[in-house]
Amino acid sequence: MEELGHVVRRVLDLAKSGESTYRFNEEATKQHLILPVLNALDWDVFSPEVMPEERVRGPYGYYRADYSLRVNGKTIAYLEAKSLGVDVFTDKGALHQLLMYCSTEGIDIGILTNGIRWVVLNAYESGTSLEERILLTIDLNEEAALEKLKLLSKETLTRSDFKELVRRKLEKLKQVEDKTSGIPTQSLVSQPAGLPQGAKLLDELTPEELSGRPRILELYIYHNGQWHELPVERNAWAMSLFTAVKFLWEHGFQDLYIPTYVETTYVRNPKYTDVVSPWHVYRPENGSVAVSKLKELERKTGVKIAVKVVKRA
């Protein structure tokens, strides 16, 4: 069996190089992106353990779940596949579809994936919303992807305490993340010198400054001991995130991933997306969203970002 880390790297490469294919072709997504991962998780995809097109009951007749995962002939989870162009993190219709399959057949666990993103649902939890039933989300681009994916191995998924194992693993990963994010900034990068004239750090910006379209909008990034001035195209908040990502990528920063805003394999709407290879940067909807995403870049990279805003009269 191929090693999981190698499979994930190959799937990410495939998704990137064949994005135009996988975005709309669900069958190709299944064969090239999803099944290799299941196989690396010790599911025998060439046997009835991974049964395609499983017939399930629904409120208006019978439907077909993309796959049932079976052990000793018993289904323990349904897996619903979508093409790469479907954001399974936000597509409530797909989540409700999976929940229907599970609930009508008495299956406790549902898995929804587009090959890169994976969502694990707890089908039975009375008095909870759909969002509250999400046990686990995985993005193959994230640092903890392998640790999370291993929870879907045949050995782990069949355990009676599977849900508790997931919760404990997520708590452990959060503790590691908290320790990392708690490292003082000065230990990661040199302390910024005085701010450029008229600029403010992100936390200092007021709601008024974030509203509307400025007359002048400039970014400043503190890197290698100096502030770098970055004019923002059209003085638009929509272009601010791309401006920062482009600078950071060109200066050697590798991990700039921000879910649904800075992606290597998925674009919500090409019309509102700018590209600096390999990153597809979705334009923030307003100043508040832009600043929240710039803060995520700060946390990821350790740089400091400042903004100069001059409002229209």
284/273 Cα distance (integer angstroms): 10
CB atoms within 10 A of CB 244: 26
pLDDT band for 183, please (50, 70, 90 cuts).
very low
Kindly report, residue by residue over 32-86, the tens digit of the pLDDT. 999 999 999 999 999 999 999 999 876 667 889 999 999 999 999 999 999 998 8
106 and 74 Cβ atoms separated by less than 8 Å:
no
Write the CB contacts of 175 (distance below 8 Å, at least 6 apart in sequence): none
Ordered structural domains, the chain, with CATH: 4-181 (3.90.1570.30), 187-310 (no CATH)
Write the CB contacts of 122 (distance below 8 Å, at least 6 apart in sequence): 108, 109, 133, 134, 135, 163
59/221 Cα distance (integer angstroms): 55
Strands 50-58 and 61-71, by their bridges, are antiparallel
At 232, the amino acid letter reads: V
Write the CB contacts of 142 (distance below 8 Å, at least 6 apart in sequence): 257
Question: Over pLDDT 90: what percentage of the chain?
Answer: 62
Question: How much is the pTM?
Answer: 0.59
Beta strands, E only, the chain: 50-58, 61-71, 74-81, 109-113, 117-122, 134-139, 199-201, 216-223, 226-231, 262-263, 273-276, 279-282, 304-310
Strands 262-263 and 216-223, by their bridges, are unpaired
Query: What pLDDT score does 186 carry?
Result: 37
Write the CB contacts of 295 (distance below 8 Å, at least 6 apart in sequence): 202, 203, 305
DSSP 284: P
| More reliable by pLDDT, 143 or 307 | 307
Query: What pLDDT score does 257 carry?
Result: 86
Structure tokens belonging to residue 32: 């090239």
DSSP 311: -
Query: What pLDDT score does 240 carry?
Result: 97
258/139 Cα distance (integer angstroms): 11
